[in-house]
Chains A and B, each alone.
Chain A
Amino acid sequence: MPPLNRPLRLAVAIDGGAPQTASAFVDRAHLAERGAFDFVTLDDSLGQPAPGVARLDALAVLARVAPTTDRIGLVPTVTTTHTEPFHVSTQVATLDWVSRGRAGWIVEVSATEAEARLVGRRPAAPAPELWHEAGEVVDVVTRLFDSWEDDAEIRDVATGRFVDRDKLHYVDFESATFSVRGPSIVPRPPQGHPVTVIDATPSHARAAAARHADVALIRTDDPDVVRTVRADLRERARACGREPDRLIVLASLPVDLDASADAVALAEFAASWHTDGVADGFHFRPRNPERDLRLLVDGTVPVLQHRGLARHFYPGATLREHLGLPRPANRYALAREASAR
């Protein structure tokens, strides 16, 4: 049985409900932060989530939430299909700056003809193709994060130089569907790389998840499926030359709680999955955000804390610290230092 990342990693979705106001999202994030969740997620898509249902841009919503929270990670869904990789990179990097190192992003694709027509740039494509492109987008986005070394800004009055341009790098990325020259316009974000999350439930997404994700989500309540997919992801990550423990696999569960008793039962269930080594943690998706989130924070989390499975507070400041993930080295800095030796 592959080793688990301990303690239990906990995330919660704050989607749903109406109306979609800033204060509703802020309240939910505060509640989740009170429960010391590692991060909140907010789903997104280009089109309406259901006919006649509105949805605000998720990354903008979590940027609005950032200054009102202190510790909790903020992870919006961002589509890679009809968007510009350069813009995706600057938006995610900026979310990391305004939250002082608490940003992540759920990489998503857009496969429907209806969404393709909203943008009008190219027709819909099959999911395997889109996930191949999504992997390339993650690659170029993280290269753009690295295109500024952390100490590129020197402010050297004597020479009049604000930056050391040897520490700014072209990424020169070319794929079948896009190319990006670089460097980024945004300095390297506080976390180096904001946390990359991929929903690995569809099999097409697993290659990208194994190669690029810090956190993979698996949407099912069947422990055998989670176990199997987790083992598969870890094996693939190893094959990509990654340390499998750096890939956190969360079971993503719908949550519909009626009473405190349900919240306690959920904690027992979560604890048993953890004991059985099913997943590194959970991503809860409340059906009714206000009601379920409150029950999760007041009912489920305290039981997990009591059992020593969940944190009582945030020892770190950044999302990477919450998740026990190191701040990544800068690939261009490593290359530059290697060539200097």
Chain B
Amino acid sequence: MTDTSGTPRTSRKPIHLAAHFPGVNNTTVWTAAPQALGSQIDFASFTHLAQTAERGLFDFFFLAEGLRLREHQGRVHDLDVLGRPEAITVLSALAAVTERLGLAATVNATFNEPYELARRLASLDHLSGGRAAWNVVTSSDAFTGENFRRGGFLDRADRYTRAAEFVATARELWDSWPPGAERARAGAFAHHGRHFDIEGHFSVERGPQGHPVVIQAGDSSEGREFAAATADVVFTRHGTLEAGRRFYADVKGRLAAHGRRPADLKIMPGVTFVLGDTAAEAQEKAAEIRHQQISPQTALLTLEQIWGVDLSRYDPDGPLPDIEPDYDAQLSQGRVRHADPRAVVASWRALAEEKGLSIRQTVIEATGRQSFIGTPAAVAEEMDTFVQTDAADGFILVPHLTPGGLDDFVEQVVPLLQERGSFRTRYTGSTLRAHLGLAQPS
């Protein structure tokens, strides 16, 4: 039941939804014809997914970023979808074919400078009528740095101090053009800080949102603190209800110290889903998708990343290698490393032994189970439970197919979330801040 403003007239927490364009890793299935044949680079794919998300009244569309092709054993990794466009440029184009959908770009704070990036994001905010968002990520590795003037030189601690100062500086620039400013003062700014020492006049007027929405994705203690201090949205990976509740309570609990209210920061886990007409059918489909995501070659490569040695002579359908891993070796570049490879090796060996699994079966069993598997009704109920019991404020959905991976969700699950009174039945605002229920910065 809705009132005239289109928002559910209940005490239920509204769910926020975002659509992640399928990424360049093995979870994006490109082998299963014909649905998986969509281009990862053609603009038509971006239009399809964004318009599907807008049809589903999603809060925003989300693009990840790549700055260096990943490598394995010194060569470009060739098993996964590869190649993507530059995010802000694609989103500027998508602003022409969507009307209300938020447009979120992941952009690295290490390999950019505040003036130029603040200008590009403010331009996107103007061009989209107030729908821009920035997912702030940091990086410090020399591998990525090889593509940039700056190179890779930041130590881990500096990554967050630079990112925090970067966001603060960007906001100073966005605030530099107050309404009714005299011509000579319009855009005037001066920032003299540890990482940035800049001054002059910013060239873009204050955007419709004041500040584009800031998203943050780090999960370390520094990352959580950074989010509590600065972010509007946190993109997390906490998949289970219990882990989600703990994370939610922890991060929301940090807000007061920064003078912020719980509603000022939305927590949105990245999740995957599989729908079926029955629970059993959904489980079967989920297993089939995991099988497609872990090709024999991907299974071996996943193992090599943990073992640290070349395993190309092993049969992916045979048993796990009995040789000892080299925990100091780094075969892959451009990937997040396992925190504790020894523990992974031990648990995978135990799993394989217990169930009699091959290499490929072990990897399928041990990695990447989908977050929500079931009938549309079951998935809607489970997602709603996450939100109503404070494990999340919503979700960033990561489909496994390009570009049609969201079609079924929008057709089948969104109406059920609306029936539950937990999701909007139309857009009531025109900006992303309005969709997320975030205040306009003063």
Contacts and interface: CB of A to CB of B under 8 A. Distances in A.
B75 interface: yes
Nearest to A154: B78
A281 to B, nearest CB: 28
Given A56-B126, A160-B298, A63 B89 contact: yes
Contact of B203 (A54, A64, A66, A159): A54
Contact of B113 (A47, A51, A82, A98): A82
A120 interface: yes
A64 B92 contact: yes
B347 interface: no
Given A47-B200, A51-B184, A114-B200, A165 B96 contact: no
A202 to B, nearest CB: 22
Interface string B35-49: 000000111000100
Contact of B112 (A63, A87, A95, A120): A87
Given A54-B204, A162-B30, A91 B86 contact: yes
B126 A187 contact: no
Contacts of B128: 22
Nearest to B197: A120
A123 interface: no
Contacts of B78: 161-165
Contact of B92 (A60, A115, A118, A185): A60
A187 B41 contact: yes
Given A20-B126, A48-B201, A64-B96, A182 B89 contact: no
Contacts of A2: none
Interface string B194-210: 00111111111100000
Interface in B143-183: 146-150, 177, 182-183
Given A48-B187, A57-B120, A165-B76, A160 B66 contact: no
B89 A185 contact: no
Contacts of A90: 85-86, 89
Given A51-B184, A165-B76, A67 B127 contact: no
A276 interface: no
A243 interface: no
A216 B379 CA distance: 59
B21 interface: no
Interface string B281-304: 000000000000001111000000
Interface in B87-138: 88-90, 92-93, 95-97, 111-113, 115-116, 119-120, 123-124, 126-129
A64 B96 CA distance: 6
A163 B89 CA distance: 24
Nearest to A20: B126
B345 interface: no
Given A61-B123, A185-B83, A159 B30 contact: no
B82 interface: yes
Contact of A67 (B76, B96, B119): B96
A5 interface: no
Interface residues of A, number: 68
A76 to B, nearest CB: 10
Contacts of B81: 162
B36 to A, nearest CB: 9
Interface stretch (A173-181, A225-233, A258-266, A319-327): A173-181
A100 interface: yes
B187 A168 contact: no
B79 interface: yes
Contacts of A95: 89
A148 interface: yes
Interface string A135-153: 0000000000000100001
A118 B116 CA distance: 9
Contact of A64 (B95, B116, B197, B297): B95
Residue among A64, A90, A182 having the largest count of chain B Cβ atoms under 10 Å: A64
B229 interface: no
Contact of B67 (A82, A99, A185): A185
A185 B68 contact: yes
A51 B81 CA distance: 47
Given A67-B47, A91-B89, A97 B41 contact: yes
A186 B112 CA distance: 18
B84 A84 contact: no
B67 A60 contact: no
Given A61-B127, A160-B297, A165-B78, A86 B147 contact: yes
B83 A186 contact: yes
A111 to B, nearest CB: 15
B389 interface: no
Contacts of B93: 63-64, 66-67, 98-99
B86 A163 contact: no
Interface in B51-80: 66-69, 75-76, 78-80
B90 A94 contact: yes
Nearest to B196: A120
Nearest to B85: A94
B146 A65 contact: no
Contact of B296 (A51, A114, A160): A160
Nearest to B299: A160
Contact of A153 (B82, B201, B203): B82
B102 to A, nearest CB: 16
B186 interface: yes
Contacts of A93: 85-86
26 contacts: A20-B126, A48-B186, A52-B187, A54-B205, A55-B203, A55-B204, A57-B120, A60-B92, A63-B90, A64-B93, A67-B96, A67-B97, A82-B116, A83-B116, A84-B112, A86-B147, A93-B85, A93-B86, A162-B82, A163-B82, A163-B83, A165-B78, A180-B147, A185-B67, A186-B41, A187-B83
Given A97-B42, A185-B69, 18 more contacts: A46-B119, A52-B183, A54-B177, A57-B119, A60-B89, A83-B116, A84-B111, A86-B67, A86-B147, A93-B86, A95-B89, A100-B43, A119-B116, A120-B197, A160-B296, A161-B79, A161-B297, A180-B146
Instruction: Give the 4 A-B CB pairs with smallest separation, nearest first.
Output: A52-B183, A160-B297, A63-B92, A181-B146
